[in-house]
Amino acid sequence: MFAQKNISSWSPLYFLAALGAGGMIVTFFMYLLFWIPHPDQPIPVYQDWVSAFLAGSSTDQLMIGIALAGVVLFAVLHILLLLWNLSHYSRWKTQGELQKIAGTNAHTQLLAIPLTLAMSINAAFILGALFVPGLWSYVEWLFPLALSGFTVLGLWALRMYLTFFSHSVSANTFNKALNNSLAQLLPGFAFAMISVGLVAPAAMSNNTTTVAISLFLAAVFLVPAIFISLVKMIIGVGHMLEHGVNKTTLPTLWVGVPILTTLSIAALRIDHGLAHTLGLADANDSPLMFLSMVLATQAFLVMLGYAVMKRMDYFKSLWSGEEKSPVVYALICPGVALSVSLHFFINKGLVAAGLLTKFGTAYWIMSGGAIAIQLLTAVVLFKLIRQLIIVPRTEPLPQSA
């Protein structure tokens, strides 16, 4: 069972555990998105995987079974972790902990909440599509509900960030010496996740009004996502060069990886909505070069972070259980994001451009890389949950503060 933590030892960063579990749902959904036919809609739904399962080989059936089992397993884990965190957040806020971090560097940790809830909406959409027969027939009615949900989350996140920014600059409560990490990119990640959710109807709806509203709302939150990410990346690197990096916050060096994945998928969805529904762009343009640049940038960020983590023996202390800060959960989303980016690069980039034969030897070798990253990420997630959240059987539950 999950531990009931002392409120003083809980932080909003624990929401990143639920976020990581939600991200793992997406990695298993990639199997179905790219490996089974779904000619009648842009994503696979219940009827598609059932037909593919009944008509497929034993290998196809095994793949579909693994994908569905993975989706269900991590959906359950996501919900449990989300409820656990919401319970702690309610107590944390009631006991005045929010006032203690107002305007400080830690204030932006609150953006992990709308970030995770945005992932929850995405997960709910995947679960509905895969397990509710005929749901896609009503999808045009569901898109306005999804847009409303993401917009509410976006406005909530915007209010959080504006409160932090106005407080920190007016009261001079932000400590630059403690900004020797990329932790301040978290708000950019939150806005990117909300934006990619808002633009989903633009890529899937046949209603021009829905598409137009989707594109506009996505742009509203895409702007702060890009602005905050770029500015905080530059400032954070500058402060790391000046003060050195804090070992505890080393996982934040990879936060740029999931931001790039969400922004790139948002860009693909925007292009699809403009080209195929509104007819305002060339539908024949290949995203290969764009996806190549995204993946290359992510690889560079991974190498930079890995070099620093290795030099500071971070992986050794992480695996031995010495790292007890919830910042460690920031390691999960980069793995999820890199796996998803590889799937998109392979299928929407190389295969779509005719440079790679789908389901050929080279295809499976490259897809195997995405699967390997996915499985490694899952192992790390379970280990971190066991170390930081699950109550050891030999220890009593800690008392609430």
pTM for the full model?
0.94
**Residue 250: exposed, middle, or buried by beta-carbon count in 10 A (0-12, 13-18, 19+)?**
buried
pLDDT band at 322 (very low <50, low <70, confident <90, very high): confident
* pLDDT mean over 37-48: 95
- Between 283 and 172, the more confident residue is 172
**Both ends of the chain: CA-CA distance in Å?**
19
Domain boundaries, the chain: 7-388
Cα(287)–Cα(256) distance, rounded to whole angstroms? 20
- Tell me how many helices (H) and strands (E) the chain has: 14, 0
- Between 125 and 277, the more confident residue is 125
* pLDDT mean over 92-108: 90
Q: What is the mean pLDDT of the chain?
A: 93
- How is the chain split among helix, strand and coil, in percent rounded to 5? 80, 0, 20
Query: So what's the pLDDT on residue 154?
Result: 98
Query: So what's the pLDDT on residue 401?
Result: 32
- What's the alpha-carbon Rg for the chain, to the nearest Å? 21
pLDDT band at 23 (very low <50, low <70, confident <90, very high): very high
pLDDT band at 324 (very low <50, low <70, confident <90, very high): confident
Beta bridge partners of 2: 390
pLDDT band at 361 (very low <50, low <70, confident <90, very high): very high
pLDDT band at 394 (very low <50, low <70, confident <90, very high): very low
- Between 286 and 282, the more confident residue is 286
**DSSP per-residue letters across 107-172:** GGGGGHHHHHHHHHHHHHHHHHHHHSTTGGGGHHHHHHHHHHHHHHHHHHHHHHHHHHHHHHHHHT
**What percent of the chain is predicted at pLDDT more than 90?**
83
Local structure of 132: helix, strand or coil: coil
For domain 7-388, the CATH architecture is Alpha/alpha barrel (1.50)
> Does position 106 have pLDDT exceeding 80, yes or no?
yes
Cα(26)–Cα(29) distance, rounded to whole angstroms? 5
Query: So what's the pLDDT on residue 82?
Result: 97
Indicate left, alpha or beta for 253 from its phi (over 0: left) and psi (-120 to 50: alpha).
alpha
> Does position 178 have pLDDT exceeding 80, yes or no?
yes
Task: Give residues with Cβ within 8 angstroms of 229, minimum separation 6.
Answer: 185, 188, 189, 192, 256, 259
Cα(82)–Cα(90) distance, rounded to whole angstroms? 12
